[in-house]
A and B are shown apart, each in its own frame.
Chain A
Amino acid sequence: MTTFRRDTPAEAEFRMDVRTWLEANLPVALRGRTARPPPAKLMPWYQALSRKGWIAPHWPKAYGGMGATLNEQIIMTEELARVGAPQMPAQGLNHIGPILIEFGSDAQKARHLPPIIAGTVIWAQGYSEPGAGSDLASLATRATPEGDHFVVQGQKIWTTWGHHSDWMFALVRTDPQAQPRHAGISFLLIDLHSPGITIRPIKTIAGDDEFSEVFFDNVIVPAENLVGKLNDGWRIANALLGYERIGTSNPQYALMALDRIKTIARATGILADPAFQDRLAAAGINVTALSALFSHAVELANQKQSPGPESSIIKIFGSELLQSLNDLLIEAAGSHAPAEKPITTECGTVDVSTSFLQVRRATIYGGSSEIQRNIVARRVLNLPN
């Protein structure tokens, strides 16, 4: 896959170091998978990357990250894609980690950041609720202050890896009367092993159970787990959403999808068809454009310390591109497309239907494409209400 930049000699050396190490250390069973392996299989790999010092390229060194330059971050992404590395649990590394670095107290940083780096604690995001999806500000899970703690009552849903997680960063309602509604929301860290919590996995159309629903029945959360000020959670969450939008649009997934398409297209023979070649070229060009958009966004985020509302367009472009890549994947697979199991060819094994079914969610989670378009129209293009 062509990238839009050339490595300096030092970067080329770094790339070779990463490549050599990944080739030697990433277990073959974890390569080229569409579904995220369960924690028992995935976390040892996470911990191995952590021991190597490469788990958090974008974090400052002071917090256990690499403090890597933008180019080094991109090199890591490209090399992880090249070797077919599995998707890491991102809630700690890309979401709560950066937000605690920005908004957390010293005690919160000291307690929570090292286990994220070490891979000993898994985090979940608690935003969506059954009655608060696109209209997130209507969320109703209550956190009532009582002395030195909050009492949490309510339900979260679509919680990625909720049933595998140890901690949740949640948006909770601390002022039911507040107008506008988002002014009564706080940002709370909740220990998922606390009494009163029930977690139920949700099976998806792709057959995986990436998501779960989490029930809170009078759960006691210490007051020190409040991030920022009371009723200031919306602002903090929005800063977080910027990171999430950039993170979920990492071109690694698109690069891997492109490889799967080429493999199956070679095996079925459709790669010889000029009409297919044209669509594949268009896809390849768009993946390069996503890589450019991604590094442009990371460049700006690094500069301003926080991604702006423009990050919505990378989420829209990245997720819709992933879906069009999967359309091309099932086209390339022909009548192999509906097979439940990965398809083994002389060119390699390719997961087709699972990948296609999984990618339905990409334009829905983290704020649907329609919600992202509303955000861009209002906050970036300043179109009238």
Chain B
Amino acid sequence: MDLHLTSEQMLLRDSAAKFIAAAGPKVARGFRERDPSFAPERLRQAGELGWLGILVPGSADGLALGLTELALVLEQAGRGLVCEPIGLAAISAAALAQGHTPHPMLKRAMTGAALVVPALQESAHGDDLFEPRTQAAEAHGSLRLTGTKTFVCADGADGFLVSAGGRDGLALYYVARDTPGSSLSATQTVDGRKLSTLSLKDAPADLVPSRQSSRSAVEAVTDLALIALSAELLGVMEKAQEITFDYLRVRKQFGKPIGSFQALQHQAVNIYIRTETTRSLLYQVAANNDPYRIDPALAVSVKAKASEDAMFVIQSCIQLHGAIGFTDEHDIGLYLKRALLLSSLFGNAAAQRRRYVKIAGLTV
């Protein structure tokens, strides 16, 4: 179903669509196992278009737009299998811009001159996002972090937003890459990108926002990440769906296009229902929540649904393609691999449901 968009929102979506025309499966294949696995100049282009500062207030030279605009750009990024981490960069910039004095990294993070990404997870399921073992302490007149962050999209990153406990409770910190006491070790993913472990031992860090220890900063950036990943997942499943429906119209067996067979038509409709319900949920939540105060029950609902639906949709797409669907040569597999990565980050669908149980009080 069509979205009800303003003309400015349509322009933004169109300009994002134009940007991704230069991306796509072929480009994504080219980045497999490269270091970094994206083009830094393309990230700067996204910065020039304002997208990295899309949520940043006007007073800090951002576009000061909302979740709908963020989702429109990231949906396109998902469609184009864009490798530049636009979503993670944009939500990090939003976090750096909080407080009375924005963090000094904000300018460079907004232009794409530097890449800052969140480093929040400490376990495979992200069940401990708000009870990290990483701890902050003051030493030699500065803040130091000690702990281990896992599944960090550290590829090409210049700094991290790290959650840690401390004397004043949970807070968000900025840690520069290669700062003394920090080390990174990377694991290759099937998507061609890397997930890293960030080890910190008395590594110097800044509070974000500065001078206030804020649990809400961690919660806000987490819920923003869930929306950002979901928007990208929506784009990924949508494009896989389009490729598949086109194939159903042209591939012939028994002398007819296979899309004329009712069994396959109904499977196609099941796919369409998943993408449409994810789209409605994402954009209704986006339209009705402030980027920095997203209702957590809704954020986890969106990520749970987008993660599960993307995996369902793209697996079905492969089935509808028949044997060509499981070859490396065909592009449909790239969408499955991207969905596998995005759906797993910050907690997969089951992890989101566990969080939902707590938030919605579905216990005795």
Contacts and interface: CB of A to CB of B under 8 A. Distances in A.
Interface stretch (B44-52, B128-136, B227-235, B264-272): B264-272
Nearest to A294: B280
B276 A313 contact: yes
B356 interface: yes
A289 B289 contact: no
B273 A266 contact: no
A322 to B, nearest CB: 15
A313 B272 contact: yes
Interface of B is mostly: helix
Contacts of B269: 313, 316, 373, 376-377, 381
Interface residues of A, number: 46
A373 B270 CA distance: 8
B305 A296 contact: no
B7 interface: no
Interface string B292-323: 00010110010011000000000000000000
B301 A383 contact: no
A285 interface: yes
A380 interface: yes
A303 B3 CA distance: 11
Contacts, number: 135
Interface residues of B, number: 44
Contacts of B249: 382-384
Contacts of A376: 269, 272
A293 B280 contact: yes
Contact of B295 (A2, A272, A299, A374): A2
A9 to B, nearest CB: 15
Given A374-B262, A383-B268, A272 B363 contact: yes
A25 to B, nearest CB: 29
Interface string B335-364: 000000000000000100110110010111
Interface of A is mostly: helix
B4 A299 contact: yes
B272 A278 contact: no
Interface string A287-323: 0111111011101100100001010010011000000
Contacts of B304: 281-282, 285
B19 interface: no
Interface in B280-295: 280-281, 283-285, 287-289, 295
Contact of B357 (A277, A296, A378): A277
A376 B259 CA distance: 13
A374 B272 CA distance: 13
B245 interface: yes
A285 B266 contact: no
Nearest to A272: B364
A370 interface: yes
Given A293-B276, A374-B265, 6 more contacts: A4-B289, A266-B364, A284-B360, A308-B1, A383-B248, A384-B249
15 contacts: A4-B288, A4-B289, A278-B350, A278-B353, A278-B354, A281-B362, A285-B305, A292-B281, A292-B283, A296-B280, A313-B277, A374-B262, A377-B265, A381-B272, A385-B260
* 8 tightest A-B CB contacts, nearest first: A5-B288, A377-B265, A292-B284, A281-B353, A383-B259, A2-B297, A296-B280, A292-B281
